[in-house]
Amino acid sequence: MIKVQQQDFDIQHEYQALAKDSQAGAIVTFVGLVRDMNLGKQVQGLELEHYPGMTEQSLRTIVQQAKTRWQLLQCRVIHRVGKLALNEQIVYVGVSSAHRGDAFAACEFIMDYLKTQAPFWKKEHTDEGANWLDARESDDQAAERWQQE
Amino acid sequence: MIKVCFFAKLREQFECDELSLEANNITQVKDVITQLVTLHPSWQSELKQSKCLVAVNHAMAKADTAVNSGDEVAFFPPVTGG
């Protein structure tokens, strides 16, 4: 299940959708939030732009790659777009598997790939004005380590 | 015709979210860039930056990726979602 949407999501609802599978022995979830500080600036909120069509295709490819690498039951990915205030939820990744090792690894893999491959862009509103965020080398390094293993 | 789109910082800098190009003389992504720079010389430095990413029909592409009439070519900065 992949969704790109403006509205918020309910973690409990997403968790239950993963947990109802009786084969699931492990569920790992990740939620990304809008935080108040970035690179020393006070953040007031974010604006998220994406490339409709390519975004969904790119997320489907990432989930497919995860399912090829690990034994997974379900993957649920939700990414919000539009204006987001401090503390709001941005992204959700939930993975279920028979065992925790696969679920932990796949959840992290999906997030690392999402951050470097899915066409989303963040514009940050701070007390010093609005600016588009630059990609971080640390995110590229996080994604690259999956290629070395 | 070829549909060209721009996203995020590029869209704002170019003050353009999409435009159409005649497909004549275009066979690869680099030809799209050449035509865009001919029409808008001020876009050259952004479009020719190594960081500028390009997708053809929603798939990541390179300078020598083939482009045909009816294709959608998008230019955008490195992604920052998540």
Which chain A residue's Cα is nearest to B51?
A135
Helix (H) or strand (E) run with residue B62 in it: none
Q: Give the minimum alpha-carbon distance from A44 to chain B in angstroms, rounded to a whole number.
A: 17
Considering only CB atoms, which chain B residues are within 8 Å of A50? Answer: 81
Asked if A134 and B80 come within 8 Å (Cβ–Cβ), the reply is: yes
Mutate to test the interface with A, among B3, B6, B11, B79 (most CBs of A within 10 A): B79
* CATH match of B2-76 with 3.30.460.10: no
pLDDT mean across residues, chain A? 95
Query: Beta-carbon neighbour count of residue A147 at 10 Å?
Result: 6
Q: Show me where the domains of chain A are located.
A: 2-148
pLDDT attached to residue B49: 87
Among the residue ranges A47-56, B25-34, B43-52, the one predicted with the least confidence is: B43-52
More confident residue, B51 or A109: A109
B14 contacts chain A (CB < 8 A): no
Q: Show me where the domains of chain B are located.
A: 2-76
Phi, psi of A132 (to 5 degrees): -75, 135
Q: Give the minimum alpha-carbon distance from B59 to chain A in angstroms, rounded to a whole number.
A: 7
The residue with tokens 């029409």 is B39
ipTM: 0.93
Q: What pLDDT, in 10s, does the model give residues A51-66? A: 999 999 999 999 999 9
Q: For residues B23 and B69, what is the distance between their CA atoms, to the nearest angstrom?
A: 5
Q: Is there a contact between A92 and A15 (Cβ–Cβ < 8 Å)?
A: no
Per-residue pLDDT for A37 more than 90? no
pLDDT attached to residue A91: 98
pLDDT attached to residue A39: 78
Asked if B82 and A91 come within 8 Å (Cβ–Cβ), the reply is: yes
* CATH match of A2-148 with 3.90.1170.40: yes
CB-count exposure of residue A47 (10 Å: 0-12, 13-18, 19+): middle
The residue with tokens 């951050």 is A115
DSSP string, chain A: -EEEESS---HHHHHHHHHT-TT--EEEEEEEE--SEETTEEEEEEEEEE-TTHHHHHHHHHHHHHHHHS--SEEEEEEE-EEEETT-EEEEEEEEESSHHHHHHHHHHHHHHHHHHS-EEEEEEETTEEEEPPP-HHHHHHHHHHHH-
The residue with tokens 């953040």 is A43
Average pLDDT over residues A43-57: 96
pLDDT attached to residue A149: 61
Among the residue ranges A68-72, A113-117, A140-144, the one predicted with the least confidence is: A140-144
Q: For residues A77 and A71, what is the distance between their CA atoms, to the nearest angstrom?
A: 17
DSSP helix/strand/coil, A132: strand
Number of CB pairs, chain A paired with chain B, less than 8 A apart: 70
